[in-house]
């Protein structure tokens, strides 16, 4: 007995087959969600909460996965999402196709090492071709919007895609900065806040930071110009002891004295904040009624229980230093904003901090009829912003709709001829796997995939580099003319990650699983 009791071991072919199957299942689930006509998934979690989405990253996040190889694929998709923020579905689908191809090769008796080498060579070559196919774009709002729109078109929000893309691009251009002479977009500058409303078209870009909070006391001002803001990570209340405490009093005067003392401490805090010049107080913690009263009397506007992430954004945007000890607060800790105002948004009130010191800080205030729409708009906005960031990082694009993959497949096939025997077979299969992307897009468009791929091959052989699947009109067409583009950075990452994931799965020839721990 070498392994602990209850452990399970699977080796060689069986191990590989089990892993490939698991990865294929994940890939097939996602495949039908690819592209603008992709289907949505309804995901129900253990608490019965329902999410409906067609966003690959979101689907994977909600699914409860057991199998280790399937989990590995999900890790790859998450990495893709974190690095470039788009192309998650594509990466999983491509990895699945590569593994299907590998399975066929294994069945023909080709050793995994040869398959891995063939895939690697094909992928390196494809990366070079990608550079050749890519076109540079001008970093203007118009050019960028044309690409960003595509990141929105596969989502529930597609009817409002021009409008939303415009907002995403405006936000990106406002937040972008120059670092070492190149543009750099830090997405932390762009806050997304959601509020129910009548329509998506009420979504707007706000210059500054919007807090989903109300001013804490009715007696406080609702609008303050030239605000000096104390951003606190400290409560304006007397903290209750952690355990039950008894205070012995022997007369009503003593109770009064005790309460007065509490009030006195709070008054001192408020007085100190007023003395250093604060006319707005925003805290992550609570503000009790007595403190609210003193603040109101001093004409200070206050907001409480603000999320940590918002507190940090606020500090960064207004130039404030986060105050953790009120009595030590100094005038230079205060942030500034041209205007802080509570406004009604739909049925609720929100606090707008505008004309902030750093004009890079903006908020996209997302509106929509239901929580599901709001969530989906938020996800697509994130995608759109990531595409903008990718384009600032590398202002190059490739034709979408599977045109890019078709062209790579064609070139990889040519290249494969130069490879020795069995590696050649692997490289050819790699090309087949690439064609998986246009095949699925054709399926979602209601086309016959065999006909579509045949036509695409013919057109690419004739030098039509951007012939792809026009998913919305159900035919093969020129993607450049239709303006369907994807950022090169996303596609490069897809290629690399999908190949790495497939290779990682192929390398495994032994699965040793420990038994469940004894109760
Ligand atoms: P991912 O999560 O991988 O980004 P999407 O569901 O966003 O997946 O689909 C992206 C794919 O859809 C890309 O291959 C892109 O080129 C393609 N696509 C997007 N819009 C269109 C369109 N209007 N016509 C054809 N293909 C499109």
Q: How many angstroms is it from 224 CA to the middle of ligand 1?
A: 46
Of the candidate ranges 143-152, 267-276, 460-469, the one whose mean pLDDT is the lowest:
143-152
Q: How many angstroms is it from 310 CA to the middle of ligand 1?
A: 33
Half-sphere exposure at residue 59, Cβ-oriented, CA atoms within 13 angstroms: 23
Residue 188: φ, ψ to 5°: -65, -20
- pLDDT (average), residues 151-159: 68
Q: Could you tell me the strand order of the sheet in which 396-399 lies?
A: 135-136, 396-399, 485-487
Q: How many angstroms is it from 435 CA to the middle of ligand 1?
A: 14
The one catalytic residue in 53, 89, 444, 499 is 89
Do the Cβ atoms of 43 and 59 come closer than 8 Å? Answer: yes
- The domains located in the chain, with CATH, are 8-136+397-513 (1.10.560.10), 207-368 (3.50.7.10)
Question: Which pair of tokens denotes residue 510?
Answer: 């032994």
Average pLDDT of every residue of the chain: 89
Q: Whose CA is nearest to atom 26 of ligand 1?
A: 401
Q: What is the ipTM of this complex?
A: 0.96
- Which atom of ligand 1 sits closest to the CA of residue 57? 2
Q: How many angstroms is it from 441 CA to the middle of ligand 1?
A: 8
pLDDT at 220: 94
pLDDT, tens digit, 9 for 90 and up, residues 344-362: 988 889 999 999 888 888 9
Closest CA to 200 of 161, 147, 168: 161
The percentage of residues in the chain with a pLDDT greater than 90, rounded to a whole number, is: 56
Respond yes or no: is residue 32 known to be catalytic.
no
Q: How many angstroms is it from 457 CA to the middle of ligand 1?
A: 19
The percentage of residues in the chain with a pLDDT greater than 70, rounded to a whole number, is: 98
Q: Whose CA is nearest to atom 5 of ligand 1?
A: 35
Respond yes or no: is residue 383 known to be catalytic.
yes
The one catalytic residue in 81, 117, 333, 383 is 383
Question: Which pair of tokens denotes residue 302?
Answer: 């206050």
CA distance 278 to 335: 9
Cβ-proximal residues to 27 (8 Å cutoff; 6+ apart), any chain:
73, 92, 93, 95, 96, 97, 99
- Which atom of ligand 1 sits closest to the CA of residue 403? 16
pLDDT, tens digit, 9 for 90 and up, residues 48-92: 888 777 777 778 777 777 788 888 888 888 888 888 878 889 999
Work out the pLDDT band at 29, boundaries 50, 70, 90. Answer: confident
pLDDT, tens digit, 9 for 90 and up, residues 497-515: 999 999 988 888 777 777 7
Q: Whose CA is nearest to atom 20 of ligand 1?
A: 150
Respond yes or no: is residue 283 known to be catalytic.
no
pLDDT, tens digit, 9 for 90 and up, residues 436-456: 999 999 999 999 999 999 999
CA distance 64 to 71: 9
Question: Which pair of tokens denotes residue 87?
Answer: 């192309």
CA end-to-end span of the chain, whole Å?
22
Closest CA to 88 of 383, 402, 468, 435: 383
CA quadruple 373, 379, 385, 390: dihedral sign: negative
3-class secondary-structure state, position 47: coil
CA distance 229 to 320: 7
Q: Which amino acids bring their CB within 6 angstroms of ligand 1?
A: 34-36, 38, 56, 86-90, 150, 153-154, 400-401, 437, 441, 469-472, 484, 486
Respond yes or no: is residue 324 known to be catalytic.
no
Work out the pLDDT band at 20, boundaries 50, 70, 90. Answer: confident
Do the Cβ atoms of 130 and 394 come closer than 8 Å? Answer: no
pLDDT at 499: 95
Question: Which pair of tokens denotes residue 128?
Answer: 């070079």
Selected residue with higher pLDDT from 381 and 152: 381
- Which atom of ligand 1 sits closest to the CA of residue 401? 26
**SS3 for 315-355, per residue?**
HHHHCCCCECCHHHCCHHHCEEEEEEEEEEECCEEEEEEEE
Work out the pLDDT band at 517, boundaries 50, 70, 90. Answer: confident
Task: Return the DSSP state at 101.
Answer: H
pLDDT at 213: 93
Q: How many angstroms is it from 34 CA to the middle of ligand 1?
A: 6
For residue 155, pLDDT over 60 is answered with: no
pLDDT, tens digit, 9 for 90 and up, residues 98-108: 999 999 999 99
Q: Whose CA is nearest to atom 1 of ligand 1?
A: 87
pLDDT at 42: 83
pLDDT at 271: 94
């Amino acid at each position: 007995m070498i392994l602990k009791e209850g452990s399970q071991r699977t080796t060689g072919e069986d191990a590989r087959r089990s892993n490939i199957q698991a990865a294929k299942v994940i890939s097939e689930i996602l495949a039908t969600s690819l592209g603008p006509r992709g289907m949505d998934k309804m995901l129900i979690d253990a608490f019965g909460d329902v999410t409906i989405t067609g966003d690959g990253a979101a689907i994977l996040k909600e699914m409860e996965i057991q199998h280790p190889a399937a989990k590995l694929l999900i890790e790859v998709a998450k990495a893709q999402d974190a690095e470039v923020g788009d192309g998650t579905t594509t990466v999983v689908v491509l990895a699945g196709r590569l593994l299907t191809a590998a399975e066929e090769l294994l069945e023909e008796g080709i050793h995994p090492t040869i398959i891995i080498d063939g895939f690697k060579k094909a992928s390196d070559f494809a990366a070079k071709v990608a550079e050749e196919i890519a076109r540079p774009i001008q970093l203007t709002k118009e050019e960028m919007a044309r690409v960003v729109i595509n990141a929105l078109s596969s989502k529930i929000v597609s009817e409002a895609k021009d409008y939303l893309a415009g907002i995403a691009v405006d936000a990106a251009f406002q937040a972008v900065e120059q670092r070492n002479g190149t543009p750099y977009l830090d997405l932390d500058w762009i806050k997304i806040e959601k509020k129910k409303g009548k329509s998506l078209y009420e979504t707007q870009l706000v210059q500054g930071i919007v807090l989903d909070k109300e001013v804490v006391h009715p007696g406080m001002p609702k609008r303050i110009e030239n605000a000096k803001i104390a951003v606190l990570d400290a409560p304006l209340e007397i903290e209750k002891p952690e355990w039950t405490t008894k205070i012995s009093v022997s007369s009503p005067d003593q109770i009064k004295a005790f309460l007065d003392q509490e009030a006195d401490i709070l008054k001192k805090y408020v007085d100190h904040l007023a003395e250093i010049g604060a006319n707005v107080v925003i805290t992550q913690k609570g503000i009790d009624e007595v403190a609210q009263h003193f603040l109101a009397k001093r004409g200070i506007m206050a907001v409480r229980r603000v999320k940590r992430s918002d507190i940090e954004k606020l500090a960064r945007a207004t130039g404030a230093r986060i105050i953790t000890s009120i009595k030590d607060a100094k005038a230079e800790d205060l942030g500034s904003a041209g205007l802080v105002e509570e406004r009604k948004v739909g049925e609720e009130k929100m606090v707008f901090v505008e004309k902030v010191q750093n004009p890079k800080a903006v908020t996209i205030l997302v509106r929509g009829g239901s929580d599901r729409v709001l969530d989906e708009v938020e996800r697509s906005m994130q995608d759109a912003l990531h595409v903008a960031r990718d384009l600032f990082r590398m202002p190059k694009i490739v034709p979408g709709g599977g045109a890019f993959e078709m062209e790579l497949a064609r070139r990889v096939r040519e290249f494969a001829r130069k490879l020795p025997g069995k590696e050649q077979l692997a490289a050819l299969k790699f090309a087949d796997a690439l064609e998986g992307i246009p095949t699925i897009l054709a399926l979602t468009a209601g086309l016959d995939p065999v006909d579509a791929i045949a036509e695409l091959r013919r057109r690419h052989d004739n030098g039509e580099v951007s012939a792809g699947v026009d998913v919305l009109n159900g035919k093969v067409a020129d993607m450049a003319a239709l303006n369907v583009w994807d950022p090169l950075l996303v596609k490069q990452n897809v290629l690399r990650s999908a190949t790495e994931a497939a290779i990682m799965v192929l390398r495994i020839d032994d699965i040793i699983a420990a038994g469940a721990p004894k109760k």
